[in-house]
């Protein structure tokens, strides 16, 4: 197994509100995602070090990008976030590894920057209780 960069994402798609996957990787300038696990402290008074149990799995993501209102582009995907309550399959593929959780997007924030650029941010969280698993 070789070390790799984050260059060359094969897939970065998000379903639009109708459930159709849209390839929006060209509009995304950067993103971050996490797959944390909850932890319960179960340390008894008889211990001299922490004792913990792993709890539920989770997923969160934030996409950041450049405004693009072409058909099937990022604005078409995220403009319905405030008006629809649908889970959207979000597919991330790099180096043949795919993660495709169902995500509830909670905001679509647009920013007109001082330099005149128009950018956006779209945060999302796990929707359906299915453990996010790489395949």
- Nearest Cα to 132, choosing from 87, 83, 94, 91? 91
How many whole angstroms separate alpha carbon 62 and alpha carbon 32? 6
| Residue 31 placed within a domain | yes
| Residue 96 placed within a domain | yes
Instruction: Give, for all 135 residues of the chain, the pLDDT tens digit.
Output: 688 888 889 999 999 999 999 999 999 999 999 999 999 999 999 999 999 999 999 999 999 999 999 999 999 999 999 999 999 999 999 999 999 999 999 999 999 999 999 999 999 999 999 999 999
| Residue 4 placed within a domain | no
How many whole angstroms separate alpha carbon 118 and alpha carbon 110? 7
Say which DSSP state 4 is in. -
- Nearest Cα to 128, choosing from 77, 56, 78, 62? 56
| Residue 134 placed within a domain | no
| Residue 116 placed within a domain | yes
User: What domain range is 38 assigned to?
Assistant: 11-126
- Tally the domains of the chain: 1
Beta bridge partners of 126: 103
């Amino acid at each position: 197994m070789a070390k790799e960069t984050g260059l060359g994402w094969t897939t970065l798609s998000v379903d639009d509100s109708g459930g159709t996957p849209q390839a929006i990787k060209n509009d995304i300038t950067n993103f971050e995602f996490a797959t944390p696990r909850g932890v319960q402290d179960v340390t008894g008074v008889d211990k001299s070090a922490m004792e913990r149990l792993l709890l539920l799995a989770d997923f969160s993501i934030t996409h950041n990008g450049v405004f693009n209102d072409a058909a099937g582009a990022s604005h078409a995907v995220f403009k319905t976030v405030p008006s629809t309550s649908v889970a959207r399959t979000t597919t991330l593929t790099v180096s043949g590894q795919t993660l495709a959780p169902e995500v509830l997007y909670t905001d679509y924030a647009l920013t007109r920057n001082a330099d005149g650029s128009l950018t956006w941010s779209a945060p999302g969280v796990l929707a359906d209780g299915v453990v996010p698993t790489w395949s």
